[in-house]
Homo-oligomer: A and B are copies of this chain.
C-alpha cells in the first residue's frame, strides 16, 4: 500500500452494507482498510473483494494455527482479494512463514489489551526478531508507546502498523511519532456522524506526524 496518510481504517462494523458505505466515504483519506473475523464471518468472505475495489484490504485474521492450516487460511484471504494478512508470531516461525508464502504478513508483536501482558508482552521482542525476516512488518499497539519505540528499533526498515488510536485512547499522530508507519483507527471514524470528515481530520494529524518525522530523519 502506498503511504499517503499513514492511516488505516479498522472496519469493525456490523454489516457488509455498512462496511461498503463507510469504505466509500473514507477512501480518499486512508491508505487501507483492515477487516476482522466478526465482519467476514457474518457477511461472507466475498465482502473482501468488494472492499478491495476501493482500497487495499488487510485481513486481520490473527492467524494462530499449525502451518498447513495457516497456509489454507492465507490462500482463502488472497483468493478473496486481500493484499495483506495479520498473523500471530507466538505459534512460531513456520506458521508465519506458511502465511508469508501466500500473502505479505504483518506479525502481531504485542497487543493493546491488558491480557497481553500475561504471555505476549514478555516475549514481544523475541517474536519480532524471530519472524521479521519473512514479514512485511509488525503490529504494535499505540497504547504502549515504550514497547512501540523498542520494537521500532528491532524492526529496522520493516513496516509497523499500530492499533489503539482514537477510541482506545492514543492520540492520532502519537504512534507515528514513536516509530509507527501507519496508525489504525476504527470507532473514531466509523462511529462518527460523518466518517469521511472524521477520517480527513485524523489523516491530517497522522500525515503531519509523518512529515515531522521525515524532517527529523
Contacts and interface: CB of A to CB of B under 8 A. Distances in A.
Contacts of A38: 69, 72-73, 76
A95 B67 CA distance: 23
Contact of A94 (B76, B89, B93, B115): B115
Q: Give the size range of A's interface with the partner.
A: 35 or more
Interface in A18-67: 36-38, 40-42, 44-45, 61-62, 64-67
Contact of A112 (B12, B42, B66, B115): B66
A116 interface: yes
A42 B41 contact: no
B67 A115 contact: yes
A147 to B, nearest CB: 15
A115 B115 CA distance: 23
Given A41-B73, A92-B113, A118-B130, 8 more contacts: A37-B61, A37-B65, A66-B112, A88-B90, A92-B115, A92-B119, A93-B118, A94-B115
